[in-house]
Amino acid sequence: MSLLLSLRLCVVARTESRLAGSLLLPSPQPWHKFHAGPQLSSSSKELLMKLRRRTGFSFVNCKKALETCDGDLKQAEIWLHKQAQKEGWSKAAKLHGRKTKEGLIGLLQEENTAVLVEVNCETDFVSRNLKFQQLVQQVALGTMLHCQSIKDQLSTYSKGFLNSSELSGLPAGPDREGCLKDHLALAIGKLGENMTLKRAAWVKVPSGFYIGSYVHGAMHSPSLHNLVLGKYGALVICETSEQQVNLQDLGRRLGQHVVGMAPLSVGSLDDEPGGEAETKMLAQPYLLDPSITLGQYVQPQGVSVVDFVRFECGESEEAVEAE
């Protein structure tokens, strides 16, 4: 055997010996250090649980937020929302363009002001999710604040509409950071469906007027306060010379008629009675008693119907533009 071959065999033997030793005595792995770390103190656990309750984010993300912000609960909450917003915008960009035919109509009414909003999603399943319904609530509150911020001396009623882009730029509410498009992105990131802020309508009336309202298939949630949700909604503006004790019931019946009969205009009491195809509200057969017209039902009540708004969830863009 040559000297060169002998040296090579020795090197191979020594290498195999070192490898065998390393298999018998493994070096510590990084994860061993992780498990050997200190346990969370009771105060840290309390902060962690409080942050999870406030934000709804995972244990891991909340722990990372507290570590990043040196245990400052308020800063950790802000950090979490910023991170979630980044993820939400990423998800929103990926889902953009997918059809949103489902969703909810939201009705919010406060004294002499009422708003209707429509927020859309891809499936009815997501529309029943509380996080989606909270988004509808934020849109309704944002619209209500916008309406109330318009300072005008009303001698008659005022009515306005907001399209998707106008809604997106509104502040989310008095206690919320950012605008509605930010919260839309957060909801998309959490629920994993495309969503759109489709439209909103607001009505404000002075004394001598009343806003009747109705939502079909109305849903109420204790966590959403006085927001009413459904698939159809209507506001009916009435003028009255004296305060009627049954205005709330009358307003609801008028709203039911608008939802069910889908009029295109109010018309007048002088219009000839029409059939089911009639589009003038006062000349239509009254929904709850087709033997009379709506005008014949309203006239003895001491009120005059002057205007209305009707929303149907998922209706075509052509119908929306015709409002």
| Structural tokens at position 8 | 């090579």
CA 233, CA 174: separation in Å to the nearest integer? Answer: 25
Please give the CATH topology (third level) of the domain spanning 55-96. Answer: Helicase, Ruva Protein; domain 3 (1.10.8)
| pLDDT at site 30 | 36
Domains 55-96 and 102-321 fall in the same CATH topology: no
Cα torsion through 253, 258, 261, 263, rounded to 10: 140
**Parts of the chain with a pLDDT under 70:** 1-43, 55-58, 84-97, 173-178, 222, 242-245, 317-323
Which pLDDT value is given to residue 164?
Answer: 94
* Per-residue pLDDT tens digits for 194-215: 899 999 999 999 988 999 999 9
Q: How far is CA 40 from CA 65, 137, 230, 307, in A?
A: 14, 37, 45, 62
**Token pair 């009254």: residue:** 286
Task: Judge contact between 284 and 261, C-beta under 8 A.
Answer: yes
pLDDT for res 65: 85
The CATH number that domain 102-321 falls under is 3.30.479.20
pLDDT of 172: 76
pTM exceeds 0.85 for this model: no
292-305 tens-digit pLDDT: 999 999 999 889 99
Domain boundaries, the chain: 55-96, 102-321
